[in-house]
Amino acid sequence: KEFPEYVEGLVRGDPGGFVLTPHYGEHAEELYNFHVRPDDIWVLSFPKSGTTWTQELVWLIANDCDFEGAKRDLNVRSPFFEFPYLIPRQEVSSYGHLPPVEKQMQIREKLESPRLIKTHLPLDLLPPQLTDTCKVVYVARNPKDVIVSYYYHHKLIKFHYFDGDMESFAHRFMKDQVWYAPYFGQVLATWEKAKNNPNVLFLFYEDLKKDLGGQIKKVAHFLGKSLTDEQLAKLVHHLTFENLSKNSAVNKEDGKKHGVFNADGNFMRKGETGDWQRYFSPEMSRQIDEWTELNLRGSDITFVDKI
């Protein structure tokens, strides 16, 4: 399969105008009508923005630093809301090691409270009462590093069938031809929502990199939890890229065992801010800056793309 042909298989979601698969479209209403609970915590993000990192951080704080419990697979502790409806129907069989598609929603519904649910869906496509009922932690990352990380993600995951180069991927990204696009659509909507809704905490990947301890405290405060200095130090240690990338409960290395990932490459790839500088020519970088500026016109959000 060629990538352009594959893109034609994507659909514009309703009502948000987001790019998702037809398989998602069949389940969009069910997901929209999902029953949320007041003690749910949701982690939202655009793919490759530091979701897994934030999920592990939030799970540990919500579960009073239960490092023993955190040895269980993160996907089980914190399910991916729209998975596997997100992936093309014909590809679901590659996930034969997981519970059948029709059981997936029941699993989410039956999870014990407090549930920690991960999603990349924009607010428009999520249960409308979500931000008035639950706690939502959103994590955003500068678009240049998201593009690089998403490119490698397309190379890693077999069913993306992507064999283009970085530059062509960056153009696809800016043309909204990737799952969950438009990138700025969801980032800006959540940014605005977080301004006047105390249930929404907006984090940046770059702040997590720069001051992990400070961001952990911020999340703990948001969730109404207190941490001892010892717990805080343990969390910081546990959540460094070095440690998390070696943690088999979190690093998704089993994707290789199950044949879903290609053998060369890792989900926990590099964990840096500014990696884009190795890939984008000055001209490419200028085009992304121009696209970013155009999309951020009128918004007070600012991204840091080097630290």
Distance from C-alpha of 73 to C-alpha of 252, rounded to nearest angstrom? 9
Within 10 Å of residue 22's Cβ, how many Cβ atoms? 11
200-204 and 135-140 as β-strands: parallel, antiparallel, unpaired? parallel
Q: Is 113 in a helix, a strand, or coil?
A: coil
Helix, strand, or coil (residue 179) = coil
Backbone angles phi, psi at 40, to 5 degrees: -70, 145
**Nearest distance in Å: CB 56, ligand A3P:** 8
Question: Which residues are paired to 42 by β-bridges?
Answer: 117, 136
Out of 50, 122, 182, 255, point to the residue binding ligand A3P (CB under 6 A): 50
253 is an interface residue for ligand A3P by CB under 6 A: no
Instruction: Single out the segment in contact with ligand A3P by CB under 6 A; choices: 47-55, 89-97, 127-135, 174-182.
Output: 47-55
The minimum distance between CB 139 and ligand A3P, in angstroms, equals: 7
3-state secondary structure string, 191-248? HHHHHHCCCEEEEEHHHHHHCHHHHHHHHHHHCCCCCCHHHHHHHHHHHCHHHHCCCC
Question: Which one among 51, 104, 186, 292 touches ligand A3P, defined by CB under 6 A?
Answer: 51
Are the C-beta atoms of residues 178 and 276 closer than 8 Å to each other?
A: no
* Least CB distance to ligand A3P at residue 246 (A): 11
| Three-state DSSP class for residue 15 | coil
Q: Which of 23, 27, 35, 120 is catalytic?
A: 120
Interface residue with ligand A3P among 18, 24, 42, 53 (CB under 6 A) is: 53
The one among 27, 158, 225, 270 contacting ligand A3P by CB under 6 A = 270
- Closer Cβ to ligand A3P, 134 or 244, answer by number: 244
Binding of residue 269 to ligand A3P (CB under 6 A): yes
Kindly state the smallest distance separating residue 1's Cβ from ligand A3P, in Å: 23
Question: Least Å distance between CB 189 and ligand A3P?
Answer: 18
CA–CA distance, 268 with 68 (Å, rounded to integer): 22
Q: Does 45 bind ligand A3P (CB under 6 A)?
A: yes
Binding status of residue 190 toward ligand A3P by CB under 6 A: no
Of the pair 129, 240, the CB lying nearest ligand A3P is at 240
* Calpha distance 189→116 (Å, rounded): 22
Give residue for tokens 């600012």. Answer: 302
Residue 23 annotated in active site: no
Q: Does 241 bind ligand A3P (CB under 6 A)?
A: yes
Residue 70, token pair as written in the block: 């955190």
Residues numbered 111 to 150 that lie near ligand A3P (CB under 6 A) are: 145, 149
CA angle 249, 254, 260 (to 5 degrees): 140
* Number of other residues whose CB lies within 10 A of the CB of residue 48: 21
- The yes or no reply on residue 78 touching ligand A3P (CB under 6 A) is no
Name the one residue in this structure whose structure tokens are 């990199």.
209
Task: Return the number of the residue (101 or 268) whose C-beta is nearest ligand A3P.
Answer: 268
Query: Judged by CB under 6 A, how many residues of this single chain contact ligand A3P?
Result: 20
Task: Kindly give the pairing relationship between strand 41-45 and strand 116-119.
Answer: parallel
Task: State yes or no: residue 152 binds ligand A3P (CB under 6 A).
Answer: yes
Q: Which residues carry out catalysis? A: 120
Binding site for ligand A3P (CB under 6 A): 45, 47-53, 145, 149, 152, 239-241, 244, 268-271, 275
